[in-house]
Amino acid sequence: MRLIKAIVEEGSITRAMDVLFLSQSALSYQLKEAELQIGTKLFFRVNKKLVLTPAGKKLYSTATRVLAELDETEEEIRRMMDGESGTIRISTECYTSYHWLPPVLKKFKSEFPNVEIEIVFEATHHPIEKLLAGELDLAITSNPEHPEQIEFIQLFSDEMLAVVSDQHPWAKREYVVSEDFQDVTLIIHSLPLDTVSIFRTQLTPKGLHPKKLIILPLTEASIELVKANMGVIVLANWAMKPYINGQVKVVRINPDGFFRQQYIARMRNRKYPVYFDYFIRFLREELRINAETETLQ
């Protein structure tokens, strides 16, 4: 519709090209595609000029009306977005997840400058509890608890891998299984154990427990212990990328891998302002990009 409208109102293909930022070949191709979709010619070519056919006149009339309405709607949405104000309180069950947020915040603030994003760090590791208590608006989690009260929107799936020293017995193995964790010192970020994905899905259901447990909330410090062959840690593929070098190795968990589904959680019975939907969309886009670009090969 915009193509037809530009050709008619600009009076020539050359000026329509400038308005639509298309090359002549691209414009000609799109016009041909439009005529194929409609099933008939939209222009007669008379003395090197384009003159609307009856079908073209009908389409131009419709385009004038519909595009004006679309443009008006887009402007109304823009005004609505600019005028929206409020706060989004968000947290996640893992500190390493916070590196996702800055690109999302930058993009979101450009669209909703009057909406504040409050990262509730003290809710980390217990986001669902805080969501249920009304202390959060959104929670990032891999544990879909209380589904009758909470809506879980899929974000992406990441693979969890074991990180070990190059001197560790696992370093040359293609993969390990749940039972292998009984013989190692496992480093985790925090308690309780049911918030740790390897325990929640791989160890606890089988009644398994590592030989020794080290609780260390800092990934950098944990990696140093791994380098010293003092334990192993399980991290998402994207989270461990900055730390992989000749001193540490990654090992798959299970023959087909161990994957964790990430969700954005929100209350089912709550009516959220429209900017929440935009924030979730921006977050999903950013996480998809992270998953595609930061996955270890």
Predicted local distance difference test score (pLDDT) of residue 192: 74
Q: How far apart are CA 257 and CA 259, in angstroms?
A: 6
Give the pLDDT confidence score for residue 176 in this predicted structure.
97
Residues of the chain with pLDDT under 70: 78-83, 95-99, 288-297
Rg (CA), the chain: 27
State how far the Cα of 127 lies from the Cα of 134, in Å rounded to an integer: 11
Spatial separation of the C-alpha atoms in residues 244 and 217, rounded to whole Å: 19
Q: What angle do CA 217, 219, 224 make, to 5 degrees?
A: 115
Coil, strand, or helix at residue 151?
Answer: strand
Tokens 């590791």 — which residue? 125
d(CA 268, CA 148): 8
Q: So what's the pLDDT on residue 285?
A: 79
pLDDT score for 96 = 63
Q: By the 8 A CB rule, do 275 and 101 touch?
A: no
pLDDT at 296: 40
Closest residue by Cα to residue 237 from 283, 197, 188, 290: 290
Cβ-based burial of 97 (10 A; exposed 0-12, middle 13-18, buried ≥19): buried
